Amino acid sequence: MKSVLVGPRPLVALFDGSDSRHAQAVDFLKTSGCRLVSTWPVVTDACNQLSFSHEAVHDFLSWCERGGVRILDLGAREIERIIELGRSEPFDLSMASLAAISETVGVKELWVLGKESNQAMELDFDGALSPYQA
């Protein structure tokens, strides 16, 4: 099974039924056959965005606990890379953590959920933090 990095945007769309991209997110999850991989900063960001509903946060975290997304820890190597990325780019901890973990575990695709796209796309962190589309 192919692993794909996921940021907060698709995760929020999955658990917020009123989100304009909810159906897109559910469709990707059902049809992609991908294993989702993320980091604690992303999970924290998603929980903050879902905080309008205790039930949504509970459902999201329960889904994570059941293996809906593999949550990777950040070590000293990843923190060093996040600091390095933050020196040259506008800082977004969630996305910087995905860039750092991508380099560590070798997962090079990110689930992009935008107005025109709902796909996993190849990443290149040599200049920009992310092609992620909110």
Question: For the whole model, what pTM was predicted?
Answer: 0.84
Task: List pLDDT tens digits, range 108-133.
Answer: 888 877 655 554 555 554 433 333 33
Evaluate whether 110 touches 97 at the Cβ level (below 8 Å): no
Domains of the chain plus CATH, in order, are: 3-122 (3.40.50.1010)
Sheet with strand 118-122: strands edge to edge:
70-72, 35-39, 3-6, 109-113, 118-122
**pLDDT by residue (tens digit) across 42-88?**
999 999 999 999 999 999 999 999 999 999 999 999 999 999 888 87
pLDDT of residue 121: 52
